[in-house]
């Protein structure tokens, strides 16, 4: 299978090595996911947004391109071409202020734009209809995130974005790393396959 992973963390994937002052559990989850899928013989394509210096801002010229259904820029076009071949797309990012970081939001704004639609009624952007998997890493406990805040990630991404463009196979798992012991965090990484089924 072809997997495309969209990773968003300021430290980039280099933060997977657990070095003091340059470590990220998001990066550790991404690295373990890549290693597992590769070991299983899958084709894994990684988009590391911060490493790529992706610009998430929708500038006036970008919005004009979006409205007139013309390309925004070469980087965005290349990202979309990579997504077109995916059987599964995996987003991995931390939750900040109960939502995704700016890079992920900008990626969705620019890459999943209406100039990509192959049909409008219903709107279809990716004909292959890949599974969308979302791995988040949050300080807020998962049950509280759902109960108190109403699960804004799934509302924004599943209901507000992907289902609108015909992508209905959506799975979400939240790693509540701050509330877990080091042993539990390591166990989750060691058994990453259970979150990929």
| pLDDT tens per residue across span 104-160 | 999 999 998 767 767 666 677 888 999 999 999 999 999 999 999 999 999 999 999
CATH of domain 2-195: 3.40.50.360
Residue boundaries of the structural domains of the chain: 2-195
- pTM for the whole thing? 0.94
Residues 6+ apart with CB under 8 A from 8: 26, 49, 50, 91, 92, 93, 94, 100, 101, 103, 104, 107
The mean pLDDT of the chain is: 92
């Amino acid at each position: 299978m072809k997997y495309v992973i969209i990773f968003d963390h300021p430290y980039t994937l280099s933060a997977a090595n657990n070095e003091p002052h340059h470590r990220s559990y998001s990066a550790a989850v991404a690295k373990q996911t890549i290693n597992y899928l590769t070991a299983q013989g899958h084709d894994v394509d990684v988009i590391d947004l911060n490493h790529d210096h992706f610009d998430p801002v929708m500038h006036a010229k970008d919005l004009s391109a979006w409205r007139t259904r013309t390309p925004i820029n070469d980087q965005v076009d290349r990202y979309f071409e990579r997504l077109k071949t995916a059987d599964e797309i995996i987003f991995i990012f931390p939750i900040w202020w109960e939502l995704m970081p700016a890079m992920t939001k900008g990626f969705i704004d620019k890459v999943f734009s209406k100039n990509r639609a192959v049909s409008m009624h219903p709107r279809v952007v990716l004909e292959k209809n890949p599974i969308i998997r979302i791995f988040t890493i949050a300080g807020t406990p998962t049950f509280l995130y759902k109960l108190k805040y109403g699960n804004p990630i799934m509302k924004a991404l599943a209901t507000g974005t992907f289902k609108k463009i015909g992508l209905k196979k959506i799975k979400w798992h939240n790693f509540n790393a701050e509330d877990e012991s080091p042993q539990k965090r390591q166990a989750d990484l060691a058994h990453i396959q259970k979150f990929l089924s």
